[in-house]
A and B are shown apart, each in its own frame.
Chain A
Amino acid sequence: MTFSAELEARLADMVKRYPPGHLRGALVPMLLYIQDEVGAITEDVVQEVATRLQLTPLQVEEVVGYYSMLRRQPAGRHHVQVCTNISCLLRGGEKVWDHARRQLNLQHKETSPDGQFSLEEVECIGACSWAPAVQVGYDYYHEMSPEKFDELVEKLKNQ
């Protein structure tokens, strides 16, 4: 399996950052960047990463199953993550979450049939000071409310 020239360069640089015998350390970032390009951690990706890092496929599976940010199925074009952890909860995060499910007609970890949206309820994303927070892809949206959520969805649809 080969990736885009850009990603290949990134991966090549990455493995250089770990001392000999500790190549395994590159596993998580490698999976994340590959997921960004491929869309999901497919079986081929598992094999490929195992070969590159001299691991067994099972050793890669262990990590893929552990981290909820690593996905076996592709997410939607816009991956909407709503935080309902303590700070956000106290400031209405749960309402945003309920609203999001209704609005997008999706449940936790579901993707819309047209592949535009996917939804996920997540734990603290480190934006407590601006709770309740929502993350779409790598972008953050602060102090959310159901109304602001609708505006956000409209904006994303037109992107």
Chain B
Amino acid sequence: MPELVKLTIDGKEIEVPAGTLVINAARQVGIEIPAFCYYEGLALQAACRMCLVEVEKAPKLLTACTLPVAKDMIVRTETPQVAAARKGMLEFLLANHPLDCPVCDKGGECELQDMTFRYGAGESRFSEEKQHIEEQQWSPVVFFDRPRCILCFRCVRICNEGMGVAALGVINRGARSEIAPNKGDHLECDECGMCIDICPVGALTSGIYRYKTRPWEMEYAGTICTHCADGCKTTLSVRNGRVIRGNNRDHSGINGEFLCVKGRYAFDFLEHPERLHQPLVRRGVELQHASWKEAVALVAAKFNEVRERGGAFGVIGSARTTNEENFYLQKFARSWLNTNNIDHRRSGDVVALLDALAGLPGSLATTADVYHAGAVLIVGADLAQQHPLLSFQVRANVRHHGARVYVVHPHPQREDKVAAQVVRARGLAGIGQIREKLAGEQSLVVLFGEHIQGADVRRLVEMLPATARYVALVDYANSRGALDMGLLPDLLPGYQPAPAPGLSLQEMVGASLDVLWVVGANPLQGRARASGFLVVQELFLTETARQADVVFPAAAAYEKTGSFTNVCGEVQRLKKGPAVAGPKTDLEIMGLLARQMGHELAPPLPEAVFEEIRRSVAGYNIPYATFVTGAASATQYPNGPIARQGSSELIRSARDTLFTSGTLGRYCSVLNSVRERDLVRVEE
């Protein structure tokens, strides 16, 4: 513990650790010192002079954002002198500011507006004509309106330090300073929109949201991103039933301020013209529109008929449907269709990891651990492309705590730049080269991708210190949840052994089953169906849906309540954003089928199923209060050996980039519009 320093701010005495900045010390006693350029976690800038305070015995005003506390310091944050200085600074900032607040996207959420309101700099002595400069489009998502910029350099720092991209800079000097993109007149970058989000004014605006609405005209739903497995919280801003913005509005959740291009912008698939709104039934050779009633009756009758004669079912679930849906689906399959032929597309060997961790409790790393660990080992995954949040956490850890990063991958990675050591080799062989160094790491977090699977996972755990914590990297928003919920032919929820193993996904797509039921997946991409009757629940007419006998239009995760479990095994709540007309949630569809079949499965309500999961699935007995308030709860793993049966499993990452997201990504026009899409590739 650093020693405590006593000081007085506005007459309040406080004690804070040595090294604390006055601006933060003030916050602790509820005093807000205004700041534009200061941003917690980024390098200090002291550019805006908004945070000036009076310090006794100091000859002039000092910037609270760079001033560390000192013993017996006496600080005053609201004196006439301070107010006059702030008012003066605002007058400067507003001198060439366009004052187009009535049409500016930031209106109502703008820090400059708030400050002007607070310090009453409502008049200007600047009578010259304002210099107008046309706004510039730097990419499909980033627009820049230069006269609105107050040169706080937050955007430059978040892009450099936070993202490790360094696509923004400041050119020229003094009154001519301006923010500039890396390619002269445009950006080539991650398109994450972090710079837009962090801009205190409306200088950087988003191509998706600009000039669409006013912030007070929207409703907000804080839910979980539907794309990669990292599980960022994203707040959907909904107006008239349409999502028009995504951001992590209150910086809550495991991702704080972070979102990548997908969590922030890739929601437009909801309104894609090819979105299915009505069930489809094959009549002759053609898929034709049908009523829900007809489609449900048809499928229920078929299911009953095959069930009664003991025919063969195959069930393929999804890594993007909720825990509740996955749990319900496997229960439906196992207890009512009498089959263990159930699987989903597997992208990381979580099962082998949990098995190898038997007897080593507390060995799964959380998202926060990636930020706090003394060292991070990244093996066989392009973190910056495939796990943007974890990659952000790693960089922040290096910046704030000086973590040592080890990268083991045959190809160059963004993390190389912050690494203590890079090994250009694959999997265990690469780790072998730095084994001694790693043995000395007492607080090590290991992030491993598809290069390490099967028996190698156990070897990995045996090679590294017993205190190491792990994350088995998987692809999609609920890849981890699908495993935990038993979408596996040989394992029930909570990794309990199934009485008899069923067929794996690869076996099912090739087998001539009587019925193949696919919920939210596209396993028949590039291959023809082999089974008799094919039922698909989907958002779009994918390669698989196109071959179906019946297609049910499904709701997307953004239109559902429920839960996801992220790559670190943390459970988070999904909150329904827009209401959908036409499609139904997968849970509702399953409920309709069960009822039509005359089978009373548990009620198909997310809350009820979640209760059942909490009660019955090992490791999911998470505190309800944490869950409903939208915070993440870490699940426990069995901490015992996992009995695998049968061995035919293919574990392979789809190797999505920042700009792809499996089949779903093809329907996100924002992702398809960015030119970087063609530049990046995730190497095997």
* Interface positions of A (Cβ within 8 A of B): 56-59, 61-62, 65-66, 68
Q: Which residue of B lies closest to A57 (CB)?
A: B182
Q: Is the CB of B173 within 8 A of A58?
A: no
B528 in the interface (beta carbon within 8 A): no
Residue of A56, A65, A66, A68 touching B166 (CB-CB under 8 A): A56
User: SS class of chain B's interface: helix, strand, loop or mixed?
Assistant: strand
A65 touches B173 (CB 8 A): yes
How many A-B residue pairs have C-beta atoms within 8 angstroms? Tell me.
Answer: 28
B416 to A: closest C-beta gap in Å: 11
| Residues of chain A within 8 A of B181, CB atoms compared | 58
Cβ-defined contact, A61 with B180, below 8 A: yes
On whether the beta carbons of B182 and A56 are closer than 8 Å, the reply is yes
Residue of A56, A57, A59, A68 with highest tally of chain B CB at under 10 A: A56
- Verify A66–B180 contact, CB threshold 8 A: no
Q: Which residues of B contact A56 (CB under 8 A)?
A: 166-167, 169, 182
Give B610-649 as 1s and 0s: 1 = Cβ < 8 Å from A's Cβ atoms. Answer: 0000000000000000000000000000000000000000
CA distance A62 to B172 in the complex (A): 7
Taken together as a complex, chains A and B put the C-alpha atoms of A34 and B276 apart, in Å, by: 62
* Interchain CB contact under 8 A, A58 and B166: yes
- Report the bound CA distance from A59 to B156 in whole Å: 11
Name the B residues within 8 Å of A58 (CB-CB).
Answer: 166-169, 171, 180-182
Residue of A nearest to B180 (CB): A58
- Min Cβ gap B251→A in Å is 28
Contact A66 B173, CB 8 Å, known A56-B166, A58-B166? yes
Q: Which residue of B lies closest to A54 (CB)?
A: B417
Q: Is the CB of A66 within 8 A of B172?
A: yes
CB distance from A41 to the nearest CB of B (A): 13
A58–B185 Cα distance when bound, in Å, is 12
Give CA–CA (A109, B167) in the complex, Å: 31
Residue of A nearest to B166 (CB): A56
Q: Is the pair B172, A59 in contact by a Cβ cutoff of 8 Å?
A: no
Report the nearest B residue to A67, measured CB to CB.
B173
Please measure, in the bound complex, the distance between the C-alpha atom of A56 and the C-alpha atom of B169, giving whole angstroms.
Answer: 10
Task: Report the interface size for chain B: residues with CB under 8 A from the other chain.
Answer: 11
Cβ–Cβ contact A61 & B166, under 8 A: no
Alpha-carbon distance between A13 and B173 when the two chains are bound, in angstroms: 30
Complex CA gap A78/B167 in Å reads: 38
Residue-by-residue, is B507-551 near A (CB-CB < 8 Å gives 1, otherwise 0)?
000000000000000000000000000000000000000000000
A68 contacts across to B, CB distance below 8 A: 173
B434 interface residue per 8 A CB criterion:
no
A16 to chain B, nearest CB (A): 21
Q: What is the bound-complex CA distance between A65 and B169, given in angstroms?
A: 11
Contact present for B171 and A65 (CB under 8 Å): yes
Once A56-B166, A58-B166 are accepted as A-B contacts, the answer to whether A65 and B182 lie under 8 Å apart by CB is no
CA distance A66 to B180 in the complex (A): 13
Q: How far is A61 from B184 in the complex, measured between Cα atoms in Å?
A: 10
* Additional A-B contact list (14), CB under 8 Å, known A58-B167, A62-B169, A66-B173: A56-B169, A56-B182, A57-B182, A58-B171, A58-B180, A58-B181, A59-B169, A61-B169, A61-B180, A62-B170, A65-B171, A65-B173, A66-B171, A68-B173
Contacts of B167 in A (CB 8 A): 56, 58
CA distance A66 to B170 in the complex (A): 9
Can you list 8 A-B contacts with CB-CB less than 8 angstroms, sorted by A residue number?
Answer: A56-B166, A58-B180, A58-B181, A58-B182, A62-B171, A65-B171, A65-B173, A66-B171
Q: Which residues of A contact B171 (CB under 8 A)?
A: 58, 61-62, 65-66
Q: Nearest-CB distance from A62 to chain B (Å)?
A: 5
Contacting residues, chain A, for B180 (C-beta < 8 A): 58, 61
| B170 CB contacts on chain A under 8 angstroms | 62
Q: Which of B164-196 contact A (CB under 8 A)?
A: 166-173, 180-182
The 8 lowest CB-CB distance pairs between A and B, nearest first, are A58-B169, A65-B171, A65-B172, A62-B169, A58-B182, A66-B173, A56-B166, A61-B171
CB-CB < 8 A to A62: which residues of B? 169-171
Task: Tell me, in angstroms, the Cα distance from A61 to B182 when the chains sit together.
Answer: 10
Are the CB atoms of B166 and A59 closer together than 8 Å?
A: yes
**Which residues of B lie under 8 Å from residue A65 when comparing CB positions?**
171-173
A68 to B173 Cα, complex, angstroms: 9
Min CB–CB distance A97 → chain B (angstroms): 21
> In the complex, what residues of A have CB within 8 A of residue B182's CB?
56-58
A42 to chain B, nearest CB (A): 15
Across-interface contacts of A66 in B (CB, < 8 A): 171-173
Closest approach, in angstroms, between the C-beta of B346 and any C-beta of chain A? 38
Bound complex: CA of A65 vs CA of B178, how far in Å? 10
Residues of A within 8 A of B173 (CB): 65-66, 68
Nearest CB on A from B678, distance (A): 20
Nearest Cβ on chain A to B77's Cβ, whole angstroms: 32
Cα of A147 to Cα of B610 in the assembled complex, Å: 93
CB B592 to nearest CB in A, in angstroms, measures 55
Task: For A59, list chain B residues within 8 Å (CB).
Answer: 166, 169
